[in-house]
Amino acid sequence: MIDRQDNPEFVNSFLDYTITILNKSPNTVKEYNYDIANFLKYIKKQFGLSIEKDIKDIKINDMDISVLKKVSLQDIHGYISYMARELKSSPATRARKISCIRVFFKYLSSKAKLIEINPAQDLETPKLGIRMPKYLSLEESKKLLEATQSEDSRNNVRDYAIITLFLNCGMRLSELVNINISNIDFSESKMTVIGKGNKERTIYLNNACMKVINDYLSIRPYDRVKTDSRDALFLSERKERISNRSVQDIVKKELKNAGLDTNKYSVHKLRHTAATLMYQYGEVDIRALQELLGHESISTTEIYTHVNDERVRNAVENNPLANI
């Protein structure tokens, strides 16, 4: 939850811009607020505008826009260096925060016209090497499904449905949590979800998915469900829409039950697993996979073309000239 009283007015107007014009999701806006607040605390400290020793304790709600008119590209580079040196931020984390700072200063200079010069105009994003996605093998995926299905618990049917949807559809955590019953087309075996950037997309459901959804709906509670959760597909013990944290705990518990490394695998790794298995075994076109996963850029989807090392190795070994 964003406490706007902690922000100067120009930050709140920027957040409003990201919501209304850029159509960013609540989670993204929350991250923007956190990133900008930390950057401004750093600037205040560097400019000698706070006596607090710990940057975390610095208040920014009294900050005037005139301070940002003095910020240079070198100051921003100093903040990036601080993130790497003091905060031990990874290159990926720094890249995300740099992107946020660029959007922020572009808004202040070209949209709100609050500053004349954009110090982040020439700010470069650090190059990131291609990171191979971690994913479960087909056998490990089957092992996870079997462990979840055989578990003796009152939420077994719900939890099995959750794991099945993750492994078959490649949904994001937020997408699964926000599934509404009214958005499921049972006759066409498909449903609509709200993806990243509040974009609506269609997810097609195979037989396994339709079965687990129907099985869960047959035992899902309907009485005394909280008003704002009556349309939610997955409910918690308190009869309200299940939370992100609860789903993460469920996945961690089932991974552990299956004897899989919970430090290596997580909810998002199940999304990687679904994408990888579809690419390896489903002969899915990369463009179709992009649409299925809801990726804005094809380059994001292309990481899955690098994971099939075994098939590449086999292709080389099966070359008719291999044994000459």
Q: Which residues are catalytic?
A: 172, 196, 268, 271, 295, 304
CA 6, CA 9: separation in Å to the nearest integer?
A: 10
CA angle, corner 60, sides to 59 and 62, nearest 5?
105
* Residues 132, 303 contacting (CB under 8 angstroms): yes
Cα 7 from Cα 40, distance rounded (Å)? 10
- How far apart are alpha carbons 278 and 168 in whole angstroms? 8
- Is residue 161 within 8 Å of residue 148, measured between CB atoms? no
Instruction: Answer whether 58's CB lies under 8 Å from 51's CB.
Output: no
- Pairing type for strands 200-204 and 190-194 reads antiparallel
The total number of residues shown for the chain amounts to: 324
C-alpha 271/C-alpha 173 separation (Å) is 9
Q: For residue 193, give the 3-state DSSP assignment.
A: strand
